[in-house]
Amino acid sequence: MRIIDHYIGGQSVSDGARSSDVYDPNSGKVQAQVRLGSATTLDAAVAAARAAQPGWAATNPQRRARVMFRFKELVEAEIDDLARILSSEHGKVLADSKGDIQRGLEVIEFCCGIPHVMKGEYTHGAGPGIDIWSHRQPLGIGAGITPFNFPAMIPMWMAGVAIATGNAFILKPSERDPTLPVRLGALFKQAGLPDGVFAVVNGDKEMVDAIIDNPDIAAISFVGSSDVAHYIYSRGTANGKRVQAMGGAKNHGVVMPDADLDAVVRDLAGAAFGSAGERCMALPVVVPVGEDTAERLRAKLLPAIAKLRLGVSTDPEADYGPVVSAAHKARIEDYIQMGVDEGAELVVDGRGYSLQGHEGGWFVGPTLFDHVKPGMKSYEEEIFGPVLQIVRAADFEEAVRLPSAHQYGNGVAIFTRNGHAAREFAARVNVGMVGINVPIPVPVAYHSFGGWKRSAFGDIGQHGMEGVQFWTKRKTMTGRWPDGGVGDAGSAFVIPTMG
């Protein structure tokens, strides 16, 4: 049995009395075991980080950027193998795994320009002989707690900016697919990152709590469910840490009567069912405006859904693969039954799907509900599976109100040819990220990612300039070089002014 260890101080570390099975979702069989660390494991990673971080912070930003350049080259050279590793533990198809890695690399590309974005501000002559300047300094040691659904992208989102700005970084990945995150540690070392600056500690809630409570960890970045995000944010900030905690989502796609429905259906098929719906930026709710729009959209959706192909992760013809675990498959199917019990119309039922030759795999067929209503628990909560719900809106006002009133506010999209409607919708909707004829509105790496309401706890987003702001603290200096005059002795007791 393959054993997945921690990565601490530039080497593999076997620590922890407990372990967890790592499965192949395509077969449902155990393929490895990951060691689950404890507070002692974390202490070792923190000690290594504490020893390495001051020297790394003192390294000039151009040299730190060169490590990012080299890391990017190494990941690109191994992307096929890394995608295979990712797919084997997560279940997403290889093309989707490559996209996962590429999205992470885009943030690494942003980090290659860290010398520019770390520049401060300067005012000459702010007062008589007085200059004021500022710069940004790293926090020290940061930690990231990442979910199973993007085991490459989200660790690179967090670690890239944290490390490039001069911090040490400790990653706690999901125990469901930890192999690729551990591999990133070896690639960082090969790229020239000093030992101790990047560590991977595997574990479960025990490790999460150890990270939250460790006094040497200055900041925590988290992506996962909203309940856990709120827990980490509350406990972490109570411990004096800076915390950004991204939670769940229930993204809506509003379809106006003038939209190109053929394009909408193509977008929906990928956004709702791609990666088996296991994306916080998936589009699991479509809101057609008007009954005529709803009927026309439904008529076009049915044949498109019928054409979707499920397959194992290595099948190049598959649109999506299995979900991540048996428990998650059961959870999705429970939500499907919940929708039926609540009175929604189950148009396409994906339960009980079996792939010939892979009967033990955790496959869930594409599922479509119509006549879903606000207030239904299956609508209010995140299903995180290949389930698309149609919520019909009578008019534009209701279409704006539905995502605005929902507990989640991660992403939303509107499909229309009407520029005024798009502009009005984008301005008024109470959601953090908006797509206009874009089904998955994830900003590019030099902008920032973050939702509203129960989709995000904390005021600072992921990556981009907000990422730099999160992982650094600003220091402002006010300086004067006297010309030799003694001046008024009493002035030292008066608050200085610029007059």
Q: How far apart are CA 371 and CA 389, in angstroms?
A: 8
Using DSSP, state whether 488 is helix, strand or coil: coil
Q: Indicate the DSSP class of residue 309.
A: -
The two structure tokens encoding residue 244: 């950004």
How many Å is the Cα radius of gyration of the chain?
Answer: 25
- Is 280 an active-site residue? yes
Q: How far apart are CA 364 and CA 362, in angstroms?
A: 7
Q: Where are the beta strands (DSSP E) in 350-497?
A: 367-370, 387-390, 408-409, 411-415, 433-436, 452-453, 456-457, 472-480
Beta bridge partners of 7: 12, 200
Cα-to-chain-centroid distance, residue 328: 19
Helix locations, 3-78, DSSP H: 39-58, 61-77
One of 280, 282, 294, 429 is an active-site residue; which one? 280
The two structure tokens encoding residue 458: 């904390």
Q: What are phi and psi of 176, to 5 degrees?
A: -80, -30
**88, 80 Cβ separation under 8 angstroms:** no
**475, 137 Cβ separation under 8 angstroms:** yes
Nearest residue to 364 via CA among 420, 421, 326, 406: 326
Beta bridge partners of 428: none
Q: How many CB atoms lie within 10 A of CB 129?
A: 11
Residues catalogued as catalytic: 280
